[in-house]
Amino acid sequence: MKYIKPNFYDDFHCLAAACSDTCCAGWEIDIDPDTEAYYMEMPGQLGERLREHMERLPEGGACFRLTDGDRCPFLTEDNLCELMFELGEDGLCEICHEHPRFYEQIGDHMEMGIGLCCEEGARLLFEQKEPISFITTSVVGPPGDVEEPPIFRERDAAFRIVQDRSLPLRVRMYRLLDFGASIQRAEFGTPDPADSAPDPALDARETLLSVMEDMEPYDDTWPATVHLLRDGSLQAELDEIDGGFENLLVYFLYRHFAPGVTDGRLSARVKFCAVSVWFICLMNAHVLRDTGDFTEWDRIVCTKDYTKQVEYSDENLELMLAALHSEPALSTENLKRLFG
């Protein structure tokens, strides 16, 4: 078994009350079965309160019933966790214990990372000035361990493309899109439907606007953000604004590329990585145009807002992947024209 993590993974520590945001509000907080059983048997007043604030989910399992403002019932006014105070880290449910860390197992690889819905995770990503690297720890298993899938060698090739600092970022993104299209054909024998009948007359920007308008908004600021796409004068300055875009591309590839070997959408997932960086850059350009300045904090906020809206909603992510896989307006060549 191989365990892989980015070089800055172990530097992450929750900011707790020092964070400008909270991960304990705004979305459903699921309770894993082991923690649910622990809470159900907990004696005393805290146990009663835990059970009072738990509710069953239609698809099975349990979650906390959120209070006004969609806050966890155990989140204090100081944005600290009451359960952490009372029970310690071992008393938290799995999602609260691990967030914003993520895990993905494919074959004999267990991959770990820090999600960008967290401002400290984003800060650590952007802080990396040297090309991001990955630390691999091998644990010898019993005979018959799964052979390393070739998808990881292909992803390493994608990393090399986006980390080639001899080229402008825009050129690297063109090459990445071409790479995604070639890998799709090599793995599955045909291009994805979007590349099977590309039409240069179709408007990629308008199609992305339509897809994003169909997404369930995370908060009431998202519709205004989406309508940045309607402003034709606003362009993503990929080579001018220091938005940490190389590191963002590496992050999105690390998290989203490999599952394409099982869902048949390798090219769409590469497009998703590139489109995500392009749209975050558009958000950055909007800040710069409207304020005359662009700070490290601005790029963290833009990245966090996009990630919460698109990447951390299974439904919204699926909308994006499905469109990038099937819509001719979102062909590889049309996206290259969109990027400028």
Domains of the chain, by residue range, sit at 24-98, 151-339
Q: Give the other-Cβ count within 10 Å of 9's Cβ.
A: 16
Which residue spans within the chain are E strands per DSSP? 2-6, 30-31, 54-56, 62-64, 101-106, 109-114, 134-138
- The Cα 175–Cα 205 span in angstroms is 20
Per-position pLDDT tens, the chain of length 340: 899 999 999 999 888 778 888 888 877 889 999 999 999 999 999 999 999 999 988 888 899 999 888 889 998 888 888 988 898 888 899 988 888 999 999 888 899 999 999 999 999 999 999 999 999 998 876 655 556 788 999 999 999 999 999 999 999 999 999 999 999 999 999 999 999 988 889 999 999 999 999 999 988 888 888 888 888 888 888 887 777 999 999 999 999 999 999 999 999 999 999 999 999 999 999 999 999 999 999 999 999 999 999 999 999 999 999 999 999 999 999 999 999 8
Tokens standing for residue 151: 């998808």
How deeply is 329 buried, as exposed, middle or buried, from its count of CB atoms within 10 A (0-12, 13-18, 19+)?
A: buried
Contacting residues for 96 by C-beta, under 8 A, at least 6 apart: 24, 29, 81, 83
Do the Cβ atoms of 103 and 115 come closer than 8 Å? no
Strand pairing category for 2-6 and 109-114: parallel
Give the strands of the sheet with 2-6, arranged side by side: 101-106, 109-114, 2-6, 134-138
Q: Which one, of 157, 322, 183, 334, lies nearest residue 266 by Cα?
A: 183
